[in-house]
Structure 1
């Protein structure tokens, strides 16, 4: 079984009810954080997970709302872990990730210096191990395998999606993207697809062009559902709602997805949890 928890389901617009985009995936005793939007560690703490518990950090792309709390994750894991030899945190993301991590640590160099000067057992900066990828198998430990494929969020490029597999169960995390063949292939036959969604019908009437611009590089609810149907996934999990999912409107969003996907649809507030078991997929369309 793979457990998926939507830690943050919000958007770049601050929302008192929703943290920034982030998803927790637990499989085979390993804990993966996918993206790290604002408030991620507070949400993780609510389900009993600390920065110390993270097996790896997976980044779908480098838009600010998906990496807002990168520094918090790195520093908190470092100062809150009392192991004599802290192992580096694996960080897997698209090209550019290493530069972002390096510059984040550079921005925190004063804080890091203060802590090293104050605590005798802190002698080096937060240890990290960055791997930049665009496709292929990127993880294979203790029965958990992770694959990566390109997605399409242009002009943001490159962007990637992740597929986590364990004992016959599988979950795909699309990140921000429009429909594309590489995502269809990554998600083919998966037990669940975690997909970011927007409501174009609510955004198109808005007078601000900058807000309307987001429609051309995100998937609508219906498009995410169509991707899930083509790939033959068992469960469609919606997240990163734009505009924010208002309490009482859940069934409206679900109904839109149901126009193109006739299986299990999951959506909800932060901390919504879904169990994905083996055998909950169908044959991909085509």
Structure 2
């Protein structure tokens, strides 16, 4: 009980401006600090408040992106300037919807142009290889042009893995586990899958005693792998859709996607089953939904710690602490800070 009270106090303190606490914990291979920055917490519908889904993870020497939605590059630049853009060398893609993938080309080419000189590793579901082959073809002229005028070719390489389930990465204390989630289209009357080829994934990242689960886009069922993979994790980051009221054409169209997403009630029941140290909402549909609305709709089904993420929220895991704060905007914006030729 005391641990829960301490955690709650930390959350409250962070929201009233205690970013200094998070800043005392620097990410290093010599410690267990893990930082997550929510670059985008929205969905397909455009929003200037919530960009497309993308989460930036720093642990040890590793910088990883989970999904690459619209606006990812600009948010990443704000978070850490050219160093952040060129530092990402690993992408985890939950599924191939455009709102999760449209900035993959930016991660690849901007990262290379501004200093990444190692291959970009991309892991995702069936179809990610075809997608990346087509992206490579689309931008081959661009790559050839820039190499011709002096940008080193190193860093243009792609390592693309199609994954389904199990441990997909295990290096330097970071273990990444993939598992299937339920987001494929169904006949809403029968509940049967409509037969579209493909798969959607969730990911769990473990690092030096910390654990974070990313639900990806998913409906909630008794059979969901999240119920098992998410048990007792530090952070369970889950998508959510609030049903649109009324019977207008717009409301009916918006609510069609309820068959492939999770309501606050459904997500709340998942949190109650898995008992994470902190539940987190991201990929929020519609993007104008307020934190107060989500908390109110979830409370009857889950009484544990809940955070509604917003763009540029930063969560730090360090020792037993979970610190929720705001990412400082670190970019100078100076081109001289990039490493186009030097790295």
Q: 1: distance between equivalents of 2:226 and 2:54?
A: 19
Say which SS state the counterpart of residue 225 (structure 2) adopts: helix
Residue 54 (structure 1) shift: 1.2
CA distance in 1, matches of 2:245, 2:203: 28
What is the RMSD computed on CA atoms of the aligned residues? 2.1
Q: Is the 8 A contact 2:118 2:155 kept in 1?
A: no
Cross-structure match for 1:262: 303
Q: CA separation in 1, counterparts of 2:274 and 2:300?
A: 16
Rg larger for: 2
Query: Partner of 2:241 in structure 1?
Result: 198
Match of residue 284 from structure 1: none
Aligned to 1:39: 71
2:140 maps to 1:109: yes
Distance 1:124 1:46, change over 3 A: closer
1:13 to 2:45 alignment: yes
Given that 2:227 and 2:270 are in contact with CA atoms closer than 8 Å, whether structure 1 keeps it comes out as yes
**Equivalent of residue 76 in structure 1, options 102, 110, 125:** 110
Per the TM alignment, residue 203 of structure 1 is displaced from its structure 2 partner at its CA by 5.5
Look up the match of 2:175. Answer: 145
Distance in 2 (alpha carbons) for counterparts of 1:13 and 1:237: 20
C-alpha change, 1:124 and 1:174, in structure 2 (3 Å) is: same
Q: CA shift at 1:279, angstroms?
A: 5.9
TM-score of the pair, normalised by structure 1:
0.89
Q: C-alpha distance in 2, partners of 1:234/1:276?
A: 11
Mapped to 2, the partners of 1:110 and 1:58 lie a distance apart of 26
Q: CA deviation at 1:37?
A: 0.3
Match of 2:263 in 1: 220
Tell me by how many angstroms 1:109 deviates: 2.0
151-160 or 59-68: bigger deviation = 151-160
Q: Deviations over 1:23-63 (max 9, x none)?
A: 11222332210000011011112221622111410000000
SS at match of 1:153: coil
| CA distance 1:275–1:261, change in 2 (3 Å) | farther
Q: Check whether the contact 1:191–1:280 (CA below 8 A) recurs between aligned residues.
A: no
Partner residue of 2:277? 234
Q: Which residue of 1 aligns with 2:314?
A: 273
Q: In structure 1, the residue corresponding to 2:135 is in which secondary structure?
A: helix
Contact 1:178–1:218 (Cα < 8 Å) also in 2: yes
Say if 1:104 and 1:2 are closer, same or farther in 2 by CA, change over 3 A. same
Structure with more of its chain in strand, by fraction: 1
CA contact (8 A) 1:171 1:191 kept: yes
**1:187 aligns with one of 213, 216, 230:** 230
Q: Unaligned 5+ residue runs, structure 1?
A: 282-286
- What is the number of equivalent residue pairs in this alignment? 274
3-state SS, counterpart of residue 47 of structure 1: helix
Paired with 2:245 and 2:109, the residues of 1 have a C-alpha distance of 37
1:88, distance to aligned residue in structure 2 (A): 0.9
CA contact (8 A) 1:170 1:192 kept: yes
Distance 2:134 2:245 in 1: 34
Is residue 116–residue 123 contact of structure 1 (8 Å, CA) maintained in 2? yes
Cα separation, 2, equivalents of 1:95 and 1:137 = 16
What TM-score, normalized by structure 2, do the two folds share? Answer: 0.75
Q: CA deviation at 1:260?
A: 1.7
